[in-house]
């Protein structure tokens, strides 16, 4: 797992042709605002998260966020354990995100 600061995460995301945004918050949290283009996999629903993660392309880069960075860090560790090599956690999460948002 790679924890990245807000600036490093945004810069790497914008320059990565294999980038996929992954929001691991609850559906209710995501509906209150999210980063445009994010795919949703709720880590609080462990079974659905694992099923959804197994369907993702492991050759891509995943930029993962939650509300404050804790759940997304956990999601990145789980993803790494099932074969994802490029999972990047947004430190500070959506609460500290200064980039584009859909609210």
Mean local confidence (pLDDT), 81-98: 95
pLDDT tier for residue 93 given thresholds of 50, 70 and 90 = very high
Query: 30 vs 1, which has greater pLDDT?
Result: 30
pLDDT at 68: 95
Is residue 88 within 8 Å of 2, Cβ to Cβ?
yes
pLDDT at 30: 92
Q: Which of 13, 35, 66, 79 is catalytic?
A: 66
Q: What is the CATH number that goes with domain 2-96?
A: 3.40.250.10
Known catalytic residue at 76: no
Rounded to two decimals, the pTM is 0.95
- For residue 63, list its beta bridge partners: 21, 88
| CB-based contacts of 27, cutoff 8 Å, min separation 6 | 40, 42
Q: How confident is the prediction for the chain on average, in pLDDT?
A: 95
Domain positions in the chain are: 2-96
Mean local confidence (pLDDT), 58-76: 97
């Amino acid at each position: 797992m790679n924890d990245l600061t807000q600036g490093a995460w945004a810069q790497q995301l914008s320059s990565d042709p294999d980038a996929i945004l992954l929001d691991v918050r609850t559906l209710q949290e995501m509906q209150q605002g999210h980063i445009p283009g994010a795919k949703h996999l709720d880590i609080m629903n462990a079974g659905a998260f694992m099923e959804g993660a197994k369907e993702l392309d492991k050759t891509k880069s995943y930029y993962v966020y939650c509300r404050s960075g804790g759940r997304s860090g956990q999601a990145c560790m789980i993803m790494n354990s099932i074969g994802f090599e490029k999972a990047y956690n947004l430190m500070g999460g959506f609460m500290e995100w200064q980039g584009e948002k859909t609210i």
